[in-house]
Structure formats: C-alpha cells, structure tokens
C-alpha cells in the first residue's frame, strides 16, 4: 500500500512539474521571443499538450490530476479516495514550485532578462486585460467548472475508453484561448502558486482568488456530475482502462 501511494505521488509530482514547466515556460521564454514568438495561442496549446502527454504517461498510475482543483472536483464526484486528496494536493503544489524554480533559473540565464509577472495570474492591474476582480472570479469558476465537467464526463461509464486525455487536453487549450487575456488562466491553484512565489509582491497577495475560484468551480462540477452520470465505484484515473463486461 505504501509503495502504491509513493508511485501515485511521484506521478502527480512529475505531471504537475511538467504542466507548470511546459505551460509557463512557453509563456515566459517562447511567447514573446523576437520574430519566432509563439504568442498566447502557442501558450494555450502548450498547456493543453502538457496535460495530454502526462495523462498518457502517468495517468494510469495516479489518475493524472496534476491540479488541486481536479483532485477536489473528483472527490466531490465520488471519484477520488479520501486518503488521496491531501497528499495529492501537497505534491502538486511542490511540483509546481520546483518547476517554477527551474524555469526561473533557466530564464535568468539570458542577459538582460526581466521576470516581470513570470506567467503569474492576476486581477485588476495584474490582469493582462485589466479585468475586474469580479470578472476574473467568475471566469475562473466557470472555466474550472467546465474543465471538471469534461474530465468527469469523458472518464465515466459509457465514454470511449482510452481516449480521455485528448478531449481533456483540448479543453485546457480552449480554456487558455479564452481566458489568457482575462486572468492569464489559472484553473489550477498549484500552477498559480509556483510562478507567483517568484513574481512576488502583489501576485502573491492575489493568490487567494486562484485557489478559491477554481476550487468552487470544481466542487460544483463534482456535485452536479455525481448525480448526472451513472453511479460508479471510486475511480481515481483520468485515463480509464477498459472495464470487463460481466
């Protein structure tokens, strides 16, 4: 049992590390690179690809949450065991912080590099489009709600087995395409925490919203989906294996 938990936590650590390093790295290093910058469209796809690739790499071990909001949403849906909730969230946050530290080290190796917001999330003056706190709060609740709705729906009984990683990755891409100008897109408290610690100051003071709003959206989705989809035994996995037909 201990070995199983260790494997799960390592999978969540590496998955969240990759999501933060790949997605935020695209924003910090590649988005505005002269002549070859990928822009926010490229950043959106980078985040989607991190989830897609890690869902298939380690989703069968831990469930491929890589996000405290996903863990909480699946718990409310009856799809995550009680014993996994807190350990998952802790290692997800650690993974994001370590990824942000590595990214900061690499990015700072360029002469004259200025961290700026360091891919952090924000509202008001720290919002890319200077959207209000209320607008940013609603955006994060709604985006996380639909992210969890898609995750739970595509991993429920009756959904095509073995392909859940694709719509989940595309859903995260779409969310970024819509919400980068508003909040710089969180829907993931761990991803928000890592970069904010290195951006410092006001970004840290605004972290509360990027924990509260995603968790609310995820909890609402979990409660709704628990009644919407067929009742199942607890299942932690995003990449669902084919079930035997009795």
> pTM of this prediction?
0.91
What percent of the chain stands above pLDDT 70?
Answer: 91
27 SS3 class: helix
Q: With contact defined as beta carbons under 8 Å apart, do 136 and 206 qualify?
A: no
pLDDT single digits (tens) 64-81: 999 999 999 999 999 999
Residue 84's pLDDT band (boundaries 50, 70, 90)?
Answer: very high
Residue 141 CA, distance from chain mean position: 13
Give domain status of residue 232, yes or no. no
If we measure between CA atoms, which residue out of 186, 165, 156, 2 comes closest to residue 87? 2
- Structural domains of the chain, count: 1
pLDDT single digits (tens) 136-183: 999 999 999 999 999 999 998 877 778 899 999 999 999 999 999 999
Rounded to 5 degrees, φ, ψ at 65 are: -75, -60
Give domain status of residue 152, yes or no. yes
Domain range for 207 is 2-106+118-227
CATH code for the domain in which residue 210 is found:
1.20.1080.10
């Amino acid at each position: 049992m201990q070995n199983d938990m260790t494997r799960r936590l390592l999978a969540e650590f590496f998955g969240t590390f990759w999501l933060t390093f790949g997605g935020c790295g695209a924003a910090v290093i590649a988005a505005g690179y002269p002549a070859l910058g990928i822009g926010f469209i490229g950043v959106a796809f980078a985040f989607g690809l991190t989830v897609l690739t890690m869902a298939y790499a380690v989703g069968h071990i831990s469930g491929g949450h890589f996000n405290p909001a996903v863990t909480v949403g699946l718990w409310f849906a009856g799809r995550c065991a009680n014993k996994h909730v807190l350990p998952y969230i802790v290692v997800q946050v650690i993974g994001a912080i370590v990824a942000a530290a590595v990214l900061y080290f690499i990015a700072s190796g360029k002469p004259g590099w200025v961290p700026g917001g360091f891919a952090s999330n924000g509202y008001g003056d720290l919002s890319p489009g200077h959207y209000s706190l209320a607008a940013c709060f609603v955006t994060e609740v709604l985006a996380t709600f639909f992210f969890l709705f898609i995750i739970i729906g595509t991993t429920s009984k009756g959904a095509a087995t073995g392909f859940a990683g694709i719509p989940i990755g595309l859903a995260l891409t779409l969310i970024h395409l819509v919400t980068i100008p508003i909040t710089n897109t969180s829907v993931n408290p761990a991803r928000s925490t890592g970069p904010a610690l290195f951006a410092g100051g006001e970004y840290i003071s605004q972290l509360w919203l990027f924990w509260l709003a995603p968790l609310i959206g995820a909890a609402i989705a979990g409660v709704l989906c628990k009644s919407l989809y067929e009742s199942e035994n607890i299942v932690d996995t995003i990449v669902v294996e084919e079930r035997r037909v009795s």
